[in-house]
Amino acid sequence: MPVSRTGRPPVQRVARPASPGIAGDNPLRRLRDRARKAWDRPLTAYYLILGGSMLITVLGLVMVYSASQITALQLSLPGSFFFRKQFLAALIGGALLFAASRMPVKLHRALAYPILAAAVFSMALVQVPGVGMSVNGNQNWISLGGSFQIQPSEFGKLALVLWGADLIARKQEKRLLTQWKHMLVPLVPVAFLLLGLIMLGGDMGTAIILTAILFGLLWLAGAPTRLFAGVLSVAGLIGVILIKTSPNRMARLACIGATEPKAGAADCWQAVHGIYALASGGIFGSGLGASVEKWGQLPEAHTDFIFAVTGEELGLAGTLSVLALFAALGYAGIRVAGRTEDPFVRYAAGGVTTWLIAQAVINIGAVLGLLPIAGVPLPLFSYGGSALLPTMFAVGLLIAFARDEPGARAALAMRQPRFGRKRSGGSRAERVPRRWNTMRRRASAARSSGER
């Protein structure tokens, strides 16, 4: 046996057996497994909702500033007029989002009836002469003085989500959802009351979003196919009647897929110039602020058609980024609704997700020429404080529900805040080993579980 210079036998190194599936594993498969593990972490939905909503809001502020400058100057206003109003609404909405994300579920349920009552009262107040005002032909606004207005129908979406989720959850707890009358009453009559108040002002776009929320709640409640189809048929019949009796709505329907500003008797100027804006953007766009269509060619460039200006200035890369953010937000909402055991959380999260994704699909589909122009803003992105405030409160609901998941609660409880940590007694030298001991205990626990 060979010996070393010290006279001791050399240490025999035993080769460790390679872990199965690691040595000859495909790097792409390992990357996929790591991505899947990261995707399944408890806080994934929390980060997707918080990060996605914040990115959409910030990018929306940038695009509102870019798209609204020319419109403001044409109205003899400062170039940053609309941006400042939207920024103020975003600050207020951020406070609402933070408050909603910190509220317990019981408080959310307690707010359902007051918000519904306030929404119905304000939506009825719109029809009072001298109180309500008309914007673009729709009588759905209340003037707050000066340049500030509010659209109560936007808060009707939040009211239907909270009240409908609370109603269905209470009926499920009493096992009443097996009877069709409890499935429909009073959810459907109250929803039709809100729809009637909205349609009195002529705003069919908001009515479509409210209908989508209603069907989302019925679907989550497990409505039978025949019952679901019956309600859908009634709503579809009413929608066809409302479209057939309105020349303006028929003209919007005729502009689907139009490539010329004049498509027969219909004036498709806005729809066609939205396509022009998207087509001229290319892959990476003409540059932020360099849109041509916003110079009076594209109506409502900073509201309903802000996605077209985004495509012109930021190109395909910018529009796909916006779509990816909305897709992530929708996935996170579905994940929160699917993993919870609380019926109210499931229905509220599903209702909010249906609201945001349906409104985004209708707005983007209209800009792309695939759907009729419904006059609904892009959630969190388009200009409009009345739409931004309830939407950010709804996002705060999703954040609160994502934080309330058992795995998320445990993950958040294990975290130590970097700032504002409570100071314990003793000197700094006495506190440092305590933190080191905590890290050492975690490391020893990891070794004992077989991790390297």
Per-residue pLDDT tens for 35-52?
Answer: 777 777 888 999 999 999
Residues 6+ apart with CB under 8 A from 35: none
Q: What pLDDT, on the 0 to 100 scale, is given for residue 296?
A: 83
3-state secondary structure of 55: helix
The tokens for 215 are 């069907």
Other Cβ atoms less than 10 A from the Cβ of 354: the count is 24
Q: What pLDDT, on the 0 to 100 scale, is given for residue 265?
A: 61
Per-residue pLDDT tens for 67-97?
Answer: 999 999 999 999 999 999 999 999 999 999 9
* Residue percentage of the chain with pLDDT more than 70: 85
**Do residues 164 and 347 lie in contact, with contact meaning Cβ atoms separated by under 8 Å?**
yes
pTM given for the model: 0.84
Cα separations (Å) of 91 from 32, 85, 164, 262, 346?
39, 10, 28, 42, 28
Q: What pLDDT, on the 0 to 100 scale, is given for residue 430?
A: 43
The number of helix segments (H) and strand segments (E) in the chain equals: 17, 5
pLDDT along the chain (452 residues), means of 10: 56 53 66 78 91 97 96 93 96 97 94 96 90 81 82 95 96 90 91 93 91 94 86 87 88 86 76 94 93 91 95 96 97 93 96 97 95 93 95 96 82 64 45 41 42 37
The CA-based diameter of the chain, rounded to the nearest angstrom, is: 107
Q: What pLDDT, on the 0 to 100 scale, is given for residue 322?
A: 97
